[in-house]
Amino acid sequence: MNVTEHLPILQVVLPLASAPLAVLLRDRLAAFVLVLAATWAAFAISVLLWLQVGESGLISYAIGSWPPPWGIEYRVDALASLVLMLVSGIAAVVLPYSRASIEREIRPDKHYLFYAMFALCLSGLLGITVTGDAFNLFVFLEISSLSSYAMIALGKDRRSLVAAYQYLIMGTIGATFIVIGVGLLYIKTGTLNLADLGVRLQAMTSHRPVLAALAFLTVGISLKLAMFPLHQWLPNAYAYAPSAVSAFLAATATKVSVYALLRFYFSVFGETAVFQRLPMEDLMLVLALAGMFVASTVAIFQDNLKRLFAYSSVAQIGYSVLGISFDSVTGLTATIVHLVNHAVTKGGLFLLLGAVIAGMGGVTLARVQGVGRVMPLTSFGIVICGLSLIGVPGTAGFVSKWYLILAALEKGQWWLVFLIVLSSLLAVAYVWRFVEVAYFHAPRADLAGAREAPLALALPAWTLVAATLWFGVDTSLTVGSASRAAGQLLGIAP
């Protein structure tokens, strides 16, 4: 028996098993070490899987040796391996950060519970990505969602409770819609295996229950990925959650949902059914553009930086959805590249905001006045991430924007090109609100003594900032994997 054969299941099981153990240990240091080991192991496994997929193309793993479609299949292709690596990589960076961060934000006797929730959330997100079974996907979705509701509720501000409650209501409605969609597909085909569904549905894509399933799945997943106008839960949830949680969720949760949407659209229903027989292309285009513009505009008028960048996330999700709506290799490449780039950028940004909270006690614009002077490194990092959101060359955001524009040009839609660049100018507006407050105001008298963030916070944050810059310069990993994944989704590349 060879361990490398079982990597797909180990990927999920290690964090999953560490969660109850962490609860049993009831000690924050032991829980931290345990979860950290599991998280780093998960990251290492995801890298190994990525390498394996690069060689063999596709890994199919039958759980309990029940062959698919009867048993649950874990399936890792180019896209899944990239998302696995992204999610576990972000977790591997955020977790060490969280130790120093929750010290300031969560009561010490609850720390071990936080680590348990974190491990559960991670395993849920990894499970969604790795599984090849529709119902299994729902279960993992709920695992990750339930743990993230709990983590958001741990926030210091009492509004985090209401935010978590709202997210719970919206998220559960979304998940229920997903189960309804999956149920309808199951009734029609008698299978839950995604690949098998994909084969069997080809003959019945115009049947009404299948169309209903598509509708339910689209709405359900859109709720989870905060596609405009189903994004209302997101700003408060990100704004009032503990810093580490904001960073982790902003960088992974919506990204995995985008992954689920791609999976259902391209692997299950097939691009002909979704885009050629139905006007999904136009629908998604309009929603994406509306999200890009409305959310960016709302972001400009926010006074709390975490809320500001949460709205920016909604806008950036619009870019990803826009890429899907092009229904072309370049468009999907843009979506997937943006998935990674935005995750890294926003993750870094929220980590840095957490460092600002640690130093200045809050992230309202009134409070962070002059942060450029008292915390020069941290605010410089925020500026770099902001530039990436704008899409300045040399940062990761530029690469995604390049592919989006290219995809729009391939379709010959010049007006769309201008709308894309116009919306990035809105990003200039909200990023520069921070820049002006941070650099042109004197710090508030009571905060002038604030000091630069400790290394435990700065190091993980700067890891992601460095990744933001790195992915803006060396794109072989992101673009290479993304274009291969896009080819696979559209059935062009093997």
Partner 1 sequence: MSADDMLILAALALPGAGSVAILLCGRWPKLRETATLSTATLLLLCVLALLPTVLAGGRPGVRLFELLPGLEIAFRLEPLGMLFALVASALWIVNSLYSIGYMRANHEEHQTRFYVCFALAITAAIGIAFAANMFTLFVFYELLTLITYPLVTHHGTHQARAGGRTYLGVLIGTSMLFLLPALVFTWHVAGTTDFTPGGILGDRLSGFALAGLLALYMFGIGKAALMPFHRWLPAAMVAPTPVSALLHAVAVVKAGVFSVLKVIIYIFGAETLAAEASTDWLLLVAGFTIIGASLVALNADNLKRRLAYSTISQLAYVVLAAAILAPLSLVGAALHIATHAVGKITLFFAAGAIYTAAHKTEVSQLDGIGRRMPWTMAAFTVGALSLIGIPPAAGFISKWFIMSGAMGAGQWAIVVVLLASTLLTAGYISCPSYIELSFSRAAGRRTRARPR
Partner 2 sequence: MTGFLDHYDYWVMLFLAMSGLFIVIARGNLIKKLVGLAILQTSVYLLYLAPGKIVGGTAPIVDAAFTVYSNPLPQVLILTAIVVGVATLALGLALVVRIREEYGTIEEDEILHLDADPADPADNASASQR
Contact residues toward partner 1 (CB under 8 A) are 387, 390-394, 399, 401-402, 405-406, 409-410, 414, 417-418, 421-422, 424-425, 428, 432, 436, 439-440, 473-475, 479
Shortest distance, position 169 Cβ to partner 2, whole Å? 6
* Given 159, 207, 208, 277, the residue binding partner 2 (CB under 8 A): 159
Judged by beta carbon distances under 5 to 8 A according to partner kind, the member of partner 2, partner 1, none in contact with residue 365 is partner 2
In angstroms, what is the minimal distance from the CB of 414 to partner 1?
8
One-letter-per-residue 3-state SS of the chain: CCHHHHHHHHHHHHHHHHHHHHHHHCCHHHHHHHHHHHHHHHHHHHHHHHHHHHHHCCEEEEHHHCCCCCCCEEEECHHHHHHHHHHHHHHHHHHHHHHHHHHHHCCHHHHHHHHHHHHHHHHHHHHHHHECEHHHHHHHHHHHHHHHHHHHHCCCCCHHHHHHHHHHHHHHHHHHHHHHHHHHHHHHHCCCEHHHHHHHHHHHCCCHHHHHHHHHHHHHHHHHHCCCCCCCHHHHHHHHCCHHHHHHHHHHHHHHHHHHHHHHHHHHHCHHHHHHCCCHHHHHHHHHHHHHHHHHHHHHCCCEHHHHHHHHHHHHHHHHHHHHHHCCHHHHHHHHHHHHHHHHHHHHHHHHHHHHHHHHCCCECCCCCCHHHHCHHHHHHHHHHHHHHHCCCCCHHHHHHHHHHHHHHHCCCHHHHHHHHHHHHHHHHHHHHHHHHHHHCCCCHHHCCCCCCCHHHHHHHHHHHHHHHHHHHCCHHHHHHHHHHHHHHCCCCC
Q: Which is nearer to partner 2, 134 or 288 (CB)?
A: 134
Determine, following the binding rule CB under 8 A, whether residue 168 of this chain makes contact with partner 2.
yes
Task: State the binding partner of 165 from partner 1, partner 2, none, CB within 5 to 8 A by kind.
Answer: partner 2
Rounded to a whole number of angstroms, the minimum distance from the CB of residue 438 to partner 2 is 14
> Smaller CB distance to partner 2: residue 136 or 481?
136
By CB under 8 A, tell whether 52 contacts partner 2. Answer: no
Count of residues that interact with partner 2, criterion CB under 8 A: 34
**Least distance between partner 2 and beta carbon 372 (Å):** 17
Q: Quick check: 444 binds partner 2 (CB under 8 A)?
A: yes
Q: In this chain, which of 58, 104, 157, 394 binds partner 2, going by CB under 8 A?
A: 157
- Binding partner of 440, given partner 2, partner 1, none, CB within 5-8 angstroms per partner class: partner 1
> Residue 5 binds which one of partner 1, partner 2, none, with CB within 5 to 8 A depending on kind?
none
**Residue 179 CB, nearest distance to partner 1 (Å)?**
41
Closest to partner 2 by CB, 46 vs 243, is 243
Least Å distance, CB 333 to partner 1, is 11
The residue ranges that bind partner 2 (CB under 8 A) are 135, 138-139, 142, 146, 149-150, 153, 157-159, 161-162, 164-165, 168-169, 172-173, 175-176, 179-180, 183-184, 186-187, 303, 362, 364-367, 444
